[in-house]
């Protein structure tokens, strides 16, 4: 539908619909600056619901902080990120929230909200839910893998505690104990290279953890959110729970649609660039996740952006794949990758739901964000569907020395990206506006 969008004081002040024609100055806005969006698609700003910026992990810190990460995000068309503030062992949630505010405030080009990732479960944390809710946090994350993994009873209690404050828990679904066991077995066989990474984290361990999560949520009587769904077996678990009538939200990421496990066989330790958890999967898994997006079984597509430099940080695991910091970059390239991946199968409206409306609704930001409505925030991405370009570390703004999508041709680029009404990026380059604000939800 053609029309004019008036941005004023950080909000969408007016939407003027019309049948055809180029841009016009709406009558009551004689001073308005005009941008011509003829032949473009105008979207509510894209929301990346899963990022790790300035995260200390594995004895290092992610390569992107809020400054570089959100600058890269706006270049790609993303106007809001939901990052994981992480409650470290011994900390309160409010302390973690304050630390993350200090990391993000005054240096973010995109708007930002936080999920609260939990490292432990105790009475103090349990009692803190109403307080953290007052800080604008209504989504939580629990890991079933890694040292911070939750026991089943803790997971059950966390689901209930979040639900009581009107929130939801997103869960990293892998069986951490069995991952550890399989890692030890691989190392004992002398398999120290990156090929062993997917062998130690098979899809069955994702499916088992999703079954466990969904049964816990069934018993708790709460919805739940499966983050970074990667496999056909995991999808079957989600389907089983939904067939029981449960509300289960599912997120996937571009890497589980584009990249398969053959990348772990790359020579010269290049497989380390793809070491993330869950790992890249088999081609049949990619097909299953792709079909699930098309069928409407996937609610949101985020990035799990968690960047580490290959030349330095990833080298920590040269002799032992279990020591490679887990994660890969993607915050800049998600919109172009997803538009390209589904250009023949999904209408722009459906793509908008996956990239903007659905995360806004799931994470309590709708209709402030995730829609073009009068009164909504002036976060707008004007998309040029005709631009074809090549992703490369040489042209990216992510502060990391590689991209897993090196040499990929993508169709479409963010032409104009407005954050709170300010032009933050144009044709893939930042304008220098650093206007991102904390989004209390």
Q: Which residues bind ligand URP (CB under 6 A)?
A: 52, 172, 276-277, 304, 306, 326-327
Residue 161 CB, shortest distance to Zn ion, in Å, is 21
Residue 253 CB, shortest distance to Zn ion, in Å, is 9
Stretch that binds Zn ion, among 183-191, 284-292, 298-306, 337-345 (CB under 5 A): 298-306
Buried b (16+ CB within 10 A) or exposed e, 245-275: ebebbbbbbbbbbbbbbebbeeeebebbbbb
Which residues does residue 127 pair with via DSSP β-bridges, in sequence order? none
Output DSSP code: residue 271: G
Residue 115 CB, shortest distance to ligand URP, in Å, is 11
251 binds Zn ion (CB under 5 A): no
Number of residue whose CB is nearest ligand URP: 326
Total number of residues that touch Zn ion (CB under 5 A)? 1
In the numeric block, which tokens belong to residue 43? 């979207």
Report what 327 binds from Zn ion, ligand URP, none; CB cut-off 5-8 Å by kind.
ligand URP
Helix (H, G, I), strand (E, B) or coil at 129: helix
Q: How far apart are CA 77 and CA 385, in angstroms?
A: 12
Q: How far apart are CA 427 and CA 224, in angstroms?
A: 37
Stretch that binds Zn ion, among 3-11, 174-182, 300-308, 368-376 (CB under 5 A): 300-308
Report what 326 binds from ligand URP, Zn ion, none; CB cut-off 5-8 Å by kind.
ligand URP
Residue 279 CB, shortest distance to ligand URP, in Å, is 8
Residue 326 CB, shortest distance to ligand URP, in Å, is 3
For 93-99, which contacts have Cβ atoms below 8 Å and span 24 or more sequence positions? 93/118, 93/125, 93/128, 93/129, 93/131, 93/132, 93/137, 94/128, 94/131, 94/132, 94/135, 97/132, 97/135, 97/137
Report what 277 binds from Zn ion, ligand URP, none; CB cut-off 5-8 Å by kind.
ligand URP
Which CB atom, from 56 or from 283, has the smaller least distance to ligand URP? 56
Residue 274 CB, shortest distance to ligand URP, in Å, is 10
Helix (H, G, I), strand (E, B) or coil at 218: helix
Q: How far apart are CA 159 and CA 153, in angstroms?
A: 10
304 binds Zn ion (CB under 5 A): yes
Q: How far apart are CA 367 and CA 327, in angstroms?
A: 31
Report what 170 binds from Zn ion, ligand URP, none; CB cut-off 5-8 Å by kind.
none
Which CB atom, from 76 or from 278, has the smaller least distance to Zn ion? 278
Which CB atom, from 180 or from 384, has the smaller least distance to ligand URP? 180
Residue 340 CB, shortest distance to ligand URP, in Å, is 22
Report what 234 binds from ligand URP, Zn ion, none; CB cut-off 5-8 Å by kind.
none
Given a contact cutoff of 8 angstroms between Cβ atoms, the answer to whether 271 and 194 are in contact is yes
128 binds Zn ion (CB under 5 A): no
Q: What is the DSSP string of 337-376?
A: HHHHHTTTTS-HHHHHIIIIIHHHHHTT-TTTSSS--TTS
> Contact positions toward Zn ion, by CB under 5 A?
304
């Amino acid at each position: 539908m053609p029309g004019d969008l008036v941005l004023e004081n950080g909000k969408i002040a007016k939407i003027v619909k019309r049948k055809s024609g180029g841009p016009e100055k709406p009558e009551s806005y004689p001073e308005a600056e005009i941008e011509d969006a003829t032949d473009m698609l105008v979207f509510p700003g894209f929301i990346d619901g899963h990022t790790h910026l300035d995260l200390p992990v594995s004895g290092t810190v992610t390569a992107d902080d809020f400054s570089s990460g959100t600058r890269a995000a706006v270049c790609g068309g993303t106007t809001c990120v939901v990052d994981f503030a992480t409650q470290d062992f011994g900390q309160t949630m409010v302390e973690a929230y304050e630390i993350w505010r200090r990391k993000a405030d005054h240096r973010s080009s995109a708007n930002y909200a936080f999920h609260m990732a939990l490292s432990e479960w105790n009475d103090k944390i349990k009692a803190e839910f109403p307080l953290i809710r007052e800080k604008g946090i209504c989504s939580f994350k629990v890991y079933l893998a890694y040292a911070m993994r939750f026991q089943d009873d803790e997971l059950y209690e966390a689901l209930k505690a979040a639900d009581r404050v009107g929130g939801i828990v997103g869960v990293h679904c892998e069986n951490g104990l069995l991952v550890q066991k399989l890692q030890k077995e691989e190392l004992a066989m002398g398999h120290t290279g990156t090929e062993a990474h997917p062998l130690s984290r098979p899809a069955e361990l994702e499916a088992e953890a999703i079954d466990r999560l969904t049964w816990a949520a069934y018993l708790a009587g709460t919805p739940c959110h499966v983050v970074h769904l990667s496999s056909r077996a995991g999808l079957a678990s989600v389907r089983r729970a939904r067939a029981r009538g449960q509300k289960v939200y599912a997120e996937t990421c571009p890497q589980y649609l584009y990249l398969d496990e053959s990348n772990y066989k790359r020579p010269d330790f290049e497989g380390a660039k793809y070491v993330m958890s869950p790992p890249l999967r088999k081609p049949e898994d990619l097909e299953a996740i792709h079909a699930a997006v098309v069928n409407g079984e996937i609610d949101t597509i985020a990035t799990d952006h968690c960047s580490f430099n290959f030349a330095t940080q990833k080298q920590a695991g040269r002799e032992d794949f279990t020591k490679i910091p887990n994660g890969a970059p993607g915050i800049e390239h998600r919109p172009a990758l997803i538009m390209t991946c589904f250009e023949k199968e999904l209408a722009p409206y459906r793509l908008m739901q996956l990239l903007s409306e659905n995360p806004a609704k799931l994470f309590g930001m709708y209709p402030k964000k995730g829609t073009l409505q009068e009164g909504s925030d002036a976060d707008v991405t004007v998309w040029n569907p005709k631009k074809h370009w090549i992703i490369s570390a040489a042209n990216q703004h992510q502060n990391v020395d590689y991209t897993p999508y090196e040499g990929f041709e993508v169709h479409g680029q963010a032409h104009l990206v407005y954050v709170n009404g300010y032009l933050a990026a144009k044709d893939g380059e930042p304008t220098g506006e650093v206007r991102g604000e904390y989004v209390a939800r």
